[in-house]
Amino acid sequence: MSDAAIPERRGAALLSPALLRTALPFVSLALMLLAIGWLNPRAISYMGFNLMLSLAVPVALATVAQMFVITVNELDLSAGFFISFVAGVAVTMLNQTPLLGVAIIVGAVLVYAAIGALIHLRDLPSIVVTLGMAFVWQGLALMVLPQPGGKAPSWLQAMMAVRIPFVPFPIVAAVVIALVVHLALMKTSYGAVLRGIGGNQAAVARAGWSVLRAKVLAFALAGVFGVLSALALVGLSTAADANIGAGYTLLAIAGVILGGGEFMGGRVSAAGAVAGAITLTLASASLLSFMHIPTDWQIGANGAILIIVLAVRALIERRAA
């Protein structure tokens, strides 16, 4: 091989479709930050990031919760109202009778795990089952908290009010979430099993792994991260209502897909999902506000951002074909 061919091969590797696909969520996030900095340079500061990313932690946790379900080729349409229910428990029972509140939250996670078992054992469409559960969680949320209000536990408020020198807390939390989930999915045997089920469920079963146990684990992890999302949201808002997490279902799905995930095949990225969640948070909380786009149009603008990123991803995949 000639010396002139070596730089060409290196350049081709750097522009490979796989690398471009992996980098796309982070490029989208960088472009979002550049746009915000151009519209309002003062926002690119320690205080600015704290304000813009105030909701990034609960959104990132909700996105990770959805990611675990998507990893095993399922979809959870109940996540938003599950978050609302847990938030209602947090501002009432968890604050007034902590042991009862903890018991109810643990029970809710066990219900989530049981839903995963039911979907697998009865071969039911997860969209239908979780859509039904969305109404159940919504009803329970209304029972726990009929009127907006309640009070977040003081320890939860203090936890979400932490200030870290030099680097805003939401950024540190997002990096920690992405790192922990990445290691769990990519460096553990059960992480490989979950991704394997998404890619080829029959092959995983033939290898001796329990598909039932893995799907129960995936839904249990979704429940755990849904609880963490609700607690983070309550710690920030200090109160709750029965619809506080209603928008998180579609937001979490969008974050996973924006982060490079696929509905089928077990192709997900923890870091990409967190980056996608932060991108959507910045778009709705900052960029669109700085552009003076009315609130009624902001959800549609988020959808437009998702469509643009998916269109770019389709072009990359067509190049790879």
Least confident of 63-77, 123-137, 155-169, 289-303: 289-303
Q: What is the pLDDT of residues 211-237, one digit of tens each?
A: 999 999 999 999 999 999 999 999 999
**Other C-beta atoms lying within 10 Å of the C-beta of residue 274:** 31
Domain ranges within the chain, ordered by starting residue? 40-320
What is the maximal distance between C-alpha atoms in the chain? 74
How far does CA 193 lie from the centroid of its chain?
20
Residue 193 confidence class, pLDDT cut points 50, 70, 90: very high
Q: Which CATH number is associated with domain 40-320?
A: 1.10.3470
Contact call for residues 201 and 40 (beta carbons, < 8 A): no
Residue type, 215: K
Average pLDDT over residues 164-172: 91
Q: Average per-residue pLDDT in the chain?
A: 87
What is the model's pLDDT at position 298? 63
Residue 12 confidence class, pLDDT cut points 50, 70, 90: very low
Contact call for residues 232 and 86 (beta carbons, < 8 A): no
CA angle 274–58–271, rounded 5-degree value: 10
Average pLDDT over residues 41-55: 88
What is the model's pLDDT at position 295? 64
Compute the distance between CA of residue 18 and CA of residue 45 in angstroms, rounded to an integer.
33
Q: What is the pTM of this model?
A: 0.91
Q: How far is CA 94 from CA 116, 155, 214, 254, in A?
A: 26, 11, 30, 30
Q: At what angle do helices 248-258 and 56-71 cross, to 10 degrees?
A: 70
**What is the C-alpha end-to-end distance of the chain, expressed in Å?**
26
What is the model's pLDDT at position 43? 84
